[in-house]
Structure 1
Amino acid sequence: MSFRSPYPDVEIPEQSVYEFLFGDLTEDDLARPALIDGPSGAVTDYRTLVGQINGVAGALASRGVKVGDVVAVHSPNVPAFASVFHGILRAGATATTINALYNAEDIAKQLTDSSATMIFTVSPLLPQAKAAAEQVGLSADRIVVLDGAEGHESLRDLLTEGAQAPDVSFDPSTHLAVLPYSSGTTGRPKGVMLTHRNLVANVSQIEPRMGANQDDVLLAVLPFFHIYGMTVLLNLGLKVRASLVTMPRFDLEQFLSLTTEKKITYLFIAPPVAVALAKHPMVDQYDISSVRMVFSGAAALDENLGNAVAKRLKTKVRQGYGMSELSPVSHAIPFDGDDMPLSSCGTAVANSENKLVDPATGEEVAYPEPGSDKVSEPGELWIKGPNVMAGYLNNDAATAETLDADGYLHTGDIAVVDGRGCVSIVDRLKELIKYKGYQVPPAELESLLLTHPQIADAAVIGVLDDEGEEVPKAFVVLQQGAELTEDDVMTFVSEKVSPHKKVRRVQFIDTVPKSASGKILRKDLRAAEPAAG
């Protein structure tokens, strides 16, 4: 049987993201710091931020960007990201956010698939952004470099025009706000169609559970281009009128220094950061006692690791679960959930419904006795709610595989639930690898490996390294008489993919196990893997 969130439904305003986040700012709010540039300390208050958002919207409209057009954002975490991202949405356009680690080929694929008409980037990333833009036919005047570069307009150029934000009208429940790219449960990256209502709904669903407020100072190290950073950090942070201190990339020393200097109170992290906080000796050199909460997402947090962070920092540690297709949060241990095990991802967020389905039989798994500590049998986690995506862009087949006729999203993860509604992920159906929270589709790496003339066949799975981090491992069958080393294989891949997609382990085998239909039997490869240690 299905089970609903244990929390009462929350109101989801029928508003655009801009109206929802900024429509009720008070005079006191306008003077508050919204964004603080970590490296320089420069402060952008809410009044300035809203002015820049409207200025960007006006500049886009004057350049012919219309309601429904797609504009790309290719930038690390800097305060200007918020101005541009929300300026795009304010103009009625759709923002497609591009991983700052992407190479030119990956950027070009996303620009092409999303039909982006402009791209915002920063000068350190301009070479790959420009190469990608040239590949897809975007001229230099459609590339805006936030911090300025010769031959391109800058954010300052756009803002000094003083163009008024356009009057736009659209239905928040159907109009696309963002197009992040996700591999879903398998395959190559696909554009995830998230409406204004999806984003408004998810902030509304998680705000009561996170416990963040206007007195909090958040360290914005999770990338805003990733749906976790976009919704949970950027949008939620701005909605509660907190202050966000931006970091363009993770550096432990700067992370600890900023936490100390800015008296950071709330840390949103991914598990690799938890490893550093639990184990690195540098942590003891800083006073980070201001931190009252650490929330981990993007990949599963080991319970022992989470407890080690809580003990060392003398703070609360929580984790949640989600997918880009869920805007992204579907489950979370709430800030006051001291009685929930850190091995779980908590309970379903408000306004949502779950069911567990036996993947072998298609039958629903029975829900345990309500209120009990009993745990259900495992099943694939299906989720229904206002945060569920509209579908995959121009890919009806993939949409139909993931979204059923009743509105349930099939996550590809195997879970169990106890009588309190506390969900734990125990296995996966999906083939996706999560490396440091970034998605790596095995099929993409396998296709690349097969282009090597000395490789006859290949399969890729995720395996755990000594730190408990999932990394891509390639099983390679060589052509007869071929001679390749493990390093040869890893170098071949690394020269052709973005950094997070690199193969980090290689094993040569005689044959790749496959089903009668030719599907790679990844479970057989996983079963033969030794435990990490």
Structure 2
Amino acid sequence: MSVLSVGGVVTTTNPLCSADELIRYLSSSDATWVICAPDCVEKIQEAVAHVTRVKGIFVMGNESVGGCTLFTKLIGDDGSAFPSDLKVNPKQDVAALLFSSGTTGPPKGVMLTHYNVIASVHLQSVPGFLKFESGVDIIPAIIPFFHVAGLVGVLSLGLKQGIRLITLPKFEPETFLRTIQEYKATRILTVPPLVFFLANHPLVDRYDLSSVSDIICGGAPTGPAIIKAVRKRLGQSNIPVREVFGMTELSSLTTIVTTDEEFEIGSVGTLLPNTTAKVIDLETGKTLGVGKEGEICFRGPQVMKGYRNNIEETRKMISEDGWLRTGDIGFYNEKGHFYVVDRLKDLIKYKAYQVAPTELENLILSMPGVKEVAVIGLPHDEAGELPKAFVVPKSDNIKPEDVMKFVEGKVIPQKKLRGGVEFVDEIPKSASGKILRRVLKARK
């Protein structure tokens, strides 16, 4: 926030990034200063050695590490360093340079202006959406602040509304559950993997989570089976598990299931104020009506300025009249509730048919012995692609052939798992909880 107040640009990175990844991020952003935790210093210094624009590294804490300057030196200023002639153009000047999740390729630098961020926070703060009560609501901040959901949808939103945030450096099962119990957290803003955790992990039964009255989840479809499971696990049959839709390119959110509407499992909600949407035909680009599946597009004050130094990709993403193409396939019903069916680039093309991986994933997740699953298209000379499932089993009581037979008995022929079923220890995901299908396709 201090950087923004003096007209600077903030860019964030995952502390788990490798030195090579940091080199790419620092170079792409033209970063001049780095602020980090002590345990990241060695890796950052290795990266900075290959980046010419970085002037220095500030480290958090009370002791200097690797010769870096202590961050406390910055906050010790008496205010005289603040510029007296600061001029910021809210709609043009970039406030945050974040990087897309990279589910379909290398991350791209997303330019969010001051106007984008301010608009996003205000639109989410409307009653019924993410309007919280100061002095009452307590939220464990488990979504990483280097991600748009954490930076805008948790940190900025929380500061603006004056609610209590309990920051957690990383997810540790017992620490997360103990935080909810001890601080009596009222709402949880989270991603699908943590909803899976609440629904399945045996540790959950050892903690009192009765203070939680609202769960907001985004990043990827959660699925009806998981929502029902977490409700049962928490002993609250009516607790809302409100799904949202958003992207880095949309400064966080565009839709959310509101608190005052009838809860529809599977819906990502209705539009935020001052936000418009349309669904277009995948082939013709023609606008479709109620109940028709196509690519979802949004227009509003939260649409990014563009990708940094990438005019071509920006033009592909945003039309001349301001419509942002999400690359997500879905529809809306007569009540204005939106549903996301799948990612456009993740569609499996089997012969002349299109198969949605998420549909198969939700089906497989309904099996008692399945913990997590991801479905990809396996290249095939004759058919084009064959659906293949990577499954994380809950126990040894389930076999790959059991999954094959289960799916075969519930789907039309083109949706059968002709590419097979492979058991794995974990499903690769981005920090926001999205399945990294490209990683699975690379290991095939």
* Smaller-chain TM-score bracket: 0.7 to 0.9
User: What SS class does the counterpart of residue 100 from structure 1 fall into?
Assistant: coil
2:133 aligned partner, one-letter code: N
Pairwise mapping of residues 22-421 of structure 1 onto structure 2 (< 5 A)? 86-137=1-52, 142-147=56-61, 148-164=64-80, 165-167=82-84, 168-182=86-100, 186-208=104-126, 209-214=129-134, 215-313=136-234, 314=236, 315-337=239-261, 339-367=262-290, 376-421=291-336
> How far apart, in 1, do the equivalents of 2:375 and 2:38 lie?
30
* 1:532 Cα offset (Å): 8.4
The 1:341/1:188 distance shift into structure 2, 3 A limit, reads: same
For residue 190 of structure 1, report the CA deviation from its aligned partner: 1.0
Equivalent position SS for 1:401: helix
Listed as ranges, the gaps of 5+ residues in structure 2 are 348-356, 382-413, 424-444
**What's the offset of the Cα at 1:162?**
2.8
CA contact (8 A) 2:295 2:328 kept: yes
Residue 204 of structure 1: SS of its match in structure 2? helix
Query: What one-letter code is carried by the residue in structure 2 that aligns with 1:267?
Result: I
Q: CA deviation at 1:103?
A: 0.6
Give the deviation of 1:474 after TM superposition: 8.4
Residues 191-250 of structure 1 show CA distances to partners (whole Å, capped at 9, x for unaligned) of: 101001101111111112123221211101100000011111101111110011111110
Shift of 1:529: 3.9
Could you say if the C-alpha distance between residues 408 and 527 of structure 1 is closer, same or farther in structure 2, counting changes exceeding 3 Å? farther
Deviation at 1:275, TM superposition (A): 0.9
Change (3 A) 1:529 1:474: closer
Q: CA deviation at 1:526?
A: 10
Amino acid at match of 1:316: P
How far does residue 282 in structure 1 lie from its aligned partner after superposition? 1.1
Give the distance between the partners of 1:185 and 1:382, measured in 2 at CA. 18
Residues 473 and 124 (structure 1), Cα distance of their counterparts in 2 relative to 1, 3 Å cut:
farther
- Cα pair 1:193 1:392 within 8 Å, conserved: yes
Shift in CA distance, 201/472, structure 1 to aligned 2, threshold 3 Å: same
**Contact 1:96/1:114 (CA < 8 Å) preserved in 2?**
yes
Summarize the Cα distance change of 1:531–1:213 in structure 2 as closer, same or farther, 3 Å threshold: farther
Q: Which amino acid aligns with 2:58?
A: V
1:475 shift after superposition? 7.0
- How many residue pairs end up in the alignment? 364
Cα pair distance change 1:528/1:176, threshold 3 Å: farther
TM-score by length of 1: 0.64
- Provide the rounded CA distance (Å) in 2 between the counterparts of 1:157 and 1:246: 23
Aligned 8 A contact 2:227 2:241 in 1:
yes
Name structure 1 gaps, 5 residues minimum: 1-85, 368-375, 433-460, 478-523
The superposition leaves residues 127-166 of structure 1 with CA deviations (integer Å, 9 ceiling, x where unpaired) of 2211111111356x61111124241112212222334333
Cα displacement (A) at 1:361? 2.1
Contact 2:240 2:263 in 1 (8 A): no
Percent of paired sites with the same residue: 34
Post-superposition CA distance 1:333-361 (Å, at most 9, x none): 01233x13120101111101111111112
Q: Using a 3 Å threshold, how does the CA distance of structure 1 residues 399 and 528 change in structure 2: closer, same or farther?
A: farther
Q: CA RMSD in A?
A: 2.7
Q: Give the TM-score normalised by the residue count of structure 2.
A: 0.76
Alpha-carbon distance between aligned partners in 1 of 2:192 and 2:419, rounded to the nearest angstrom: 22
Alpha-carbon distance in 2 for matches of 1:124, 1:173: 37
Q: Secondary structure at the match of 1:135?
A: coil
